[in-house]
Structure 1
Amino acid sequence: MSRKLCSLFSGGKDSTYAIHWALLHGFKMECLITILPGRRDSWMFQYQNVRFTKYQAQVLNIPQIFVESSGERDKELQDLRMALREGRDLGAEGILTGALLSDYQRMNINLIAHDLGLKTYSPLWRKDQERYMRELIRYGFEFIITSASAYGFPFELVGKVVTQTDVEKIISRAKAFGFNPAFEGGEAETFVVSAPLFQRRLNVEGEIHRLGEFEWEYRITRIL
């Protein structure tokens, strides 16, 4: 079994939880791979507040490979290949992802990793979405909603650290309005401020922006 991994890391709940899973299962994290797309509508990568992941890498005490990409569909796959090759050169034998349901993301990662001789691990794949959201809170993950764009979403949660009560509200709204409660369809994005593996909690400052009737953002301005 491949024991040395690099993790695709966006700073959100899914990639952070995947690292938690990997370390609990005896894997060693060689590096984090973070790709910053040049456009919001990237097919592969999270855009919102990704440049602040360097602070999370510091409190995780894991080296980070940071790659800027145009965000164009084919070009960002080339950038991913370059980043995975760099991770392999650092000693990684496999790649860790926080993919939940996206066949497009998982297929492309698997194909590139296979070409590079890397095994892929996606511990959250097809995990029950409601159960997963509740587990995050129970296991001590604290995350902020940094963007939301789904009809029926409780937009008052944008910029707020999500609590157990908030999770139940999200699940209830998801059932009523038909969006994914774990946001795998892009309904919302998150930024983790505290987790069991963090050496300390991150204190985040930012501003809430309403971009439209059903589109809100929390733009991080500073992390202490």
Structure 2
Amino acid sequence: MKVCVLYSGGKDSTYSLHWAVFKGFEIKCLITLLPEKEYSWMFQVPNVELTKYQAEVLGYNLLQIKTSGIKDRELKDLKIAFIKAKELGAEGIVTGALLSDYQRLNINLIAEEVNLKTYSPLWRKNQEEYLREIVKEGFKFIITSATAYGFPFHLLGKVIDEQDVEEIIERARKYGFNPAFEGGEAETFVIYAPLFKRELKVEGYKKKISEYEWRFIITHIH
């Protein structure tokens, strides 16, 4: 099966890419949608333009497509991306959808319109166990934004280890946010994974947006 992977640079899309490789799928390209607005209903916004660095260390072609970020119009942009994927020879699309019915439903519907199969290996996976598993398997990622009451904001910009995972899970249980961030509580950026040829070194700084919203601004990658 030849597939393209919807790739945001975060932990979920990176994990799904690795799942596809180890299932024997042929990766034709990575697809990154670049929202022009600060917030998007469908796509990750922080640092998605930096997926070019991840694609380089992964050794895959990257298709970056701008999208308006407007709720209905961005679905048309997604369809354009899928059509381009099919032109590259893809027969299916792999997604990192974990819990969002809105995202998964729209991806499936648009893929069906252009006759592409969809694969969402993380769908409805246990959130806590998944977070523990991904760190144990050697994935290194940083949190680049967080918007949730009770979130451990001091972890922004830090490579998340097993101890940090337990702190996130404990806070999630106490304050009610999603421990794997599928509700938009946080966004991540992967700096190393088992298929990376080398680790990315990231520099940046924390920025407080409001009492319950922080971001880690990446200023340099080498």
Report TM bin, short chain: over 0.9
| Correspondence for 1:196 among 194, 197, 204 | 194
**Are 1:34 and 2:32 matched, yes or no?**
yes
Aligned residue in 2 for 1:139: 137
Q: Which amino acid aligns with 2:82?
A: L
User: SS at the partner of 1:127?
Assistant: coil
Q: How is 1:97-116 mapped onto 2 (pairs within 5 angstroms)? A: 97-116=95-114
Quote the Cα distance in structure 1 between the aligned partners of 2:66 and 2:39.
15
Provide TM-score, normalisation by structure 1.
0.98
Q: Determine what percentage of the aligned residue pairs are the same residue.
A: 61
Q: How is 1:116-155 mapped onto 2 (pairs within 5 angstroms)? A: 116-155=114-153
What is the number of residues matched between the two proteins? 222
User: SS at the partner of 2:72?
Assistant: helix
| Correspondence for 1:173 among 160, 171, 174 | 171
Q: Which amino acid aligns with 1:110?
A: N
| Correspondence for 2:182 among 173, 184, 197 | 184
Quote the Cα distance in structure 2 between the aligned partners of 1:41 and 1:104.
15
User: SS at the partner of 2:44?
Assistant: coil
Aligned residue in 2 for 1:67: 65
Aligned-residue CA RMSD (Å)? 0.6
Provide TM-score, normalisation by structure 2.
0.99
- Structure 1 runs (4+) deviating above 3 angstroms are none
Q: How is 1:71-90 mapped onto 2 (pairs within 5 angstroms)? A: 71-90=69-88
Shift, 1:40, TM fit? 2.2
Q: Which runs of 5+ in 1 are unaligned?
A: none
Quote the Cα distance in structure 1 between the aligned partners of 2:97 and 2:149.
23
